[in-house]
Amino acid sequence: MSLRPYRDIQRRTSRQIHVGSVPVGGGAPITVQTMTNTLTTDVVGTVAQIKAAEEAGCDIVRVSCPDEESTAALRHIVRQVRVPIVADIHFHYKRAIEAAKAGAACLRINPGNIGNAQRVKDVVQAAKDHNCSMRIGVNAGSLEKHLLERYGEPCPEALVESAQEHAKILEDNDFFEFKISVKASDVFLAVAAYQQLADVCDYPLHIGITEAGGLRAGTVKSAIGIGSLLWAGIGDTIRVSLSAEPVEEVKVGFDILKSLDLRHRGVRIVSCPSCARQGFNVIKTVEILEQRLAHIATPVSLSIIGCVVNGPGEARETDIGLTGGGNGSHKMYIGGLADHNVRDDDKIDHIVALVEKKAAEIEAAKAAAIAVSHSSAAE
């Protein structure tokens, strides 16, 4: 039994699919996605964006394939990157077939929008032949005409019905390797639609608030919507949709997951907003540390508190802690315990060194555990 039951999130049970080698659903870690905003025909620029997303920890990247030139470029792109690529297809079934042949790991497509039954069969066959999964992507801004006429406006029921109609088409073609999204830019609409969809199917759910806005406002909006769903156990893969560079979407995605203890990557900094009691410039210190520690992918927790009011308590909960003191000397905590003092001028370099050391220790322990596991398996 958990000592902190209030922090337990019971994830919705779903079947599992694969996007390339990445499992989605079925209890697998919640994955973080983004989408390139370069012209796909710009292979060099698109690959550069994907590699930057990879460095930030991105698990899956979507690339738009609106024309034949783009699917031709896709073949060259997938060969140069590590993450699986989702080909974004809207209306032309031939683009889906071309993308599957070009090496896409997944097709983002609504089968009801690509024409007659034979075209759907051709796409499904291409997906099967090339080991592609699919994503049904319903969006409040592009609902089918018959659903808008029935419901009068985009609503949760319309989004879910659209998703079910598209899902049935794939099921009727004996294809079940797909995930579903029902996105809207309205937080209430999106959350309600996902809640309803989660109750009527067991497919993995790709969640997000579409067209969320710029970096700051979109981050807040996405955190509310995505966070609400994740807290309720809904969601197997996430994409934060920002009017910003793709790498920023990845960073925000991981921050949302870290805030709910669902997945950890990199250094988690706990810091105070600062006040007149601070023994050093907290805001500037945190800003510098975020930059200096950005290269660390190993989960490490760090508390930076300006005074002794909350400092010792926060330090007890983190791997490494700094609490502001007087006379230019501050207290360092290691493993929750007061350990030594550090001079103000030395604190940044000292903290970076401690965090890097802690990360190296964690990775070494992981490697040792893996070696023992492999040795036991061999015996």
Question: CA torsion 48→50→56→61, rounded to 10°?
Answer: 170
224: exposed, middle or buried (C-beta count within 10 Å: 0-12, 13-18, 19+)? middle
pLDDT of residue 134: 97
pLDDT of residue 379: 66
- Residue 284 burial (CB count, 10 A): 11
pLDDT of residue 3: 61
371: exposed, middle or buried (C-beta count within 10 Å: 0-12, 13-18, 19+)? exposed
C-alpha to C-alpha distance for 93 and 346, rounded to whole angstroms: 61
Q: Which residues of the chain have pLDDT under 50?
A: 1
| CA 119 from centre of chain | 32
C-alpha to C-alpha distance for 259 and 365, rounded to whole angstroms: 25
Helix, strand or coil for residue 369? helix
- The token pair at 135 is 């994503």
Do 185 and 210 contact (CB within 8 A), yes or no?
Answer: yes
pLDDT of residue 292: 97
Is the CA virtual torsion 342, 348, 350, 352 positive or negative?
A: positive
- Can you give 229-292 as a three-state secondary structure string? HHHCCCCCEEECCCCCCHHHHHHHHHHHHHHCCCCCCCEEEEECCCCCCCCCCHHHHHHHHHHH
Q: Which residues pair with 63 in a beta bridge?
A: 87
pLDDT of residue 372: 81
Do 180 and 196 contact (CB within 8 A), yes or no?
Answer: no
Domains observed in the chain? 11-259 (3.20.20.20), 267-366 (3.30.413.10)
Distances (CA, A) of 161 to 34, 205, 296, 326: 26, 15, 44, 63
pLDDT of residue 377: 67
C-alpha to C-alpha distance for 364 and 370, rounded to whole angstroms: 10
